[in-house]
Chains A and B, each alone.
Chain A
Amino acid sequence: MEYQKPIPLKTQDNSPYWDGADRHELILQKCNCCHQYSHPPGPSCAKCGSSELSWESQGSDINGKVYSYIVSYRPFLPGFQDDLPLVIAIVELDMLPQVKLIGNILHCSPEEIEMGMPVKMVWKDIMDDRSIPQWIQV
């Protein structure tokens, strides 16, 4: 069945991240000047303005904790109508707590979700050549 949800758009500024995701690998942008991570990635460092940027692989085995979450009971975007209630969370990475990613906690009911809950990144193949990182409870 055709994937009905929005597919991440690759752009000049973010393609290493999404190309990495397609390979099931987390690639983060890092500033060579202030040494902070930039997520989401951009045309230059949003913390110091430097355009000296590099991309750093974090591998495929990523763990984190729920930093914040909401539960959507309405599909605010097309394609999510069969996924309700939908848990959308901000996940703080265990190895890089300064980096937070937004994703869905899959197979997680509103009763189960809580702040600080440990989660693990899983790679969801959404098309032949496209994947996105998602999260499941550990």
Chain B
Amino acid sequence: MESIKNRYAIVGVGESERSKNSGTTPLHLALDAARAALNDAGLKAKDIDGFMSYSENDSCTSHQLATYLGVRPKYVKDILGGGSSTEMLIADAVGLIESGQLNTVLIYRSMNGRSGVRMGGGGWNVNMLQTAIEGGSFIIPYGAGSPAQWFGLFATRHMHETGLTQEHLGHVCLAFYEHAQRNPKAYFHGKPLTMDEYLKTPYLSYPFKKHDFCLESDEANAIIVTSAERAEGCKSRPVYIMGLSARQCVSHAHYWNDLTEVAADYVAPEVYKMAGVKPEDIDVASIYDCYSWVVLRQLEAYGFAPRGEVGNFVAEGNLRIGGKLPSNTAGGMLSEGYTHGMNNVLEIVRQVRHEYKGTDRQVENCEIGICTGWAGPDMAGAMILRN
């Protein structure tokens, strides 16, 4: 297979309403998001011959979504997954289009993430958790049942080794909350955050305070991927995929042995190589942000600042619009909404299209963007997009 650089594009993005209590099903939300993405692309539902989604058993199926859009597609696929799944499914879509099996694929994530199944825990059966999580019986009996605690164990060690401080975590939150104030659809729109308030807020699970956690929301997002040729026929301005690297495991298979190594360290060189760009060529970013700290570790992995200097990089305001790497410019999962990373994909597409031109939300002269996924130390995905 030849390089796929610039030969595939995202031609449509759309979302449902976002709330803490949708009062409806993931299928209704998915239909809303899919119709919005189709409308954005100027495509009809019947133009889609592949439907894909990821979930944690908290969604509708691709088959259902296609059915109620009135489509009988060639291909449906539903995977179990969270962070980095968007990038992985885009890679799958590209492969299926490249091999001539499909023309245009719609990928969605739909969830009642607040009113339905909550990732943040609560209501889980502890014995189910012990068996569902790899090595679960070695953590659950010790009270470690929340991703906040697992990521925290990585965070404190990384902070210890590299000199990252609580303020540095706070700078990530501040930047994203600031972006949310420009986004009327962000969940924390109207809720600005100061460093003083951040530092005074009590810990939920040290080193994380409530602002360091992603929020939980009810919403669906959808994106449409097709070939560059077909993209030319679409209504929207295509955003071309320059580089794409899907999941890759780290060299050790168990989480707790080596906290210095994360899958993003392996994905980064691949995605830059395929795209033929360097970190300094990136104008805008969406960095997976289930917790503030994972942003810092990914900035290190993707080469935006050397290990040990990531804290200064964020303290200088570089994640803000106007900084060196405006990131999560809609507020990210910390303050906009939470669909396991897909809302961040929508935002990077809109930035690279210059959809906010003329407003204070638009990153000036942004031609190249990066979007990173993170599902924990063991899985990562990333793509580089251009106008």
Contact = CB atoms under 8 A, between A and B. Distances in A.
B22 to A, nearest CB: 25
Contacts, number: 125
Contacts of A40: 134-135, 137-138, 254
A78 B124 CA distance: 10
Indicate the size class of the contact surface on chain A: 35 or more
A71 B256 CA distance: 17
**Most chain A beta-carbon neighbours within 10 Å: one of B131, B155, B157:** B157
Nearest to A77: B145
A34 interface: no
Contacts of B138: 8, 14, 39-40, 101-102
A35 B136 CA distance: 24
Interface string A72-92: 111111111001011010100
Interface in A39-77: 39-40, 46-47, 67-77
Q: Is the interface of A mostly helix, strand, loop or mixed?
A: loop
B206 interface: yes
B228 to A, nearest CB: 40
B387 interface: no
Contact of B143 (A9, A67, A72): A72
Interface stretch (B100-108, B197-205, B330-338): B197-205
Interface residues of B, number: 41
A26 B139 CA distance: 16
Given A70-B156, A70-B207, A90-B153, A76 B145 contact: yes
Contacts of B129: 6, 77
Interface string B145-184: 1101100111111001000000000000000000000000
Given A68-B259, A70-B207, A115-B160, A5 B141 contact: yes
A91 to B, nearest CB: 10
Interface string B33-70: 00000000000000000000000000000000000000
B126 interface: yes
Given A11-B131, A88-B153, A77 B140 contact: yes
Contacts of A38: 254
A70 B152 contact: yes
A130 B252 CA distance: 31
A65 to B, nearest CB: 12
A100 interface: yes
Given A9-B131, A46-B252, A71-B203, A76 B257 contact: no
A7 interface: yes
B80 interface: no
Nearest to B126: A6
A110 B131 CA distance: 30
A42 to B, nearest CB: 8
B153 A75 contact: no
Contacts of B145: 6, 76-77
Interface in A82-136: 83, 85-86, 88, 90, 98-104, 110, 115, 132
Contacts of B144: 76, 88, 102
A8 B160 CA distance: 30
**Most chain B beta-carbon neighbours within 10 Å: one of A9, A77, A85, A103:** A77
B142 A104 contact: yes
Contacts of A98: 257
A103 to B, nearest CB: 5
B318 interface: no
A99 B155 CA distance: 19
Contacts of A72: 143, 149, 204-206
A102 to B, nearest CB: 5
Given A14-B137, A76-B146, A70 B206 contact: yes
A77 B252 contact: no
7 contacts: A6-B141, A40-B134, A74-B205, A76-B143, A90-B157, A98-B257, A102-B256
Given A39-B138, A102-B256, 8 more contacts: A40-B254, A72-B149, A76-B145, A76-B149, A77-B146, A80-B143, A90-B259, A102-B139
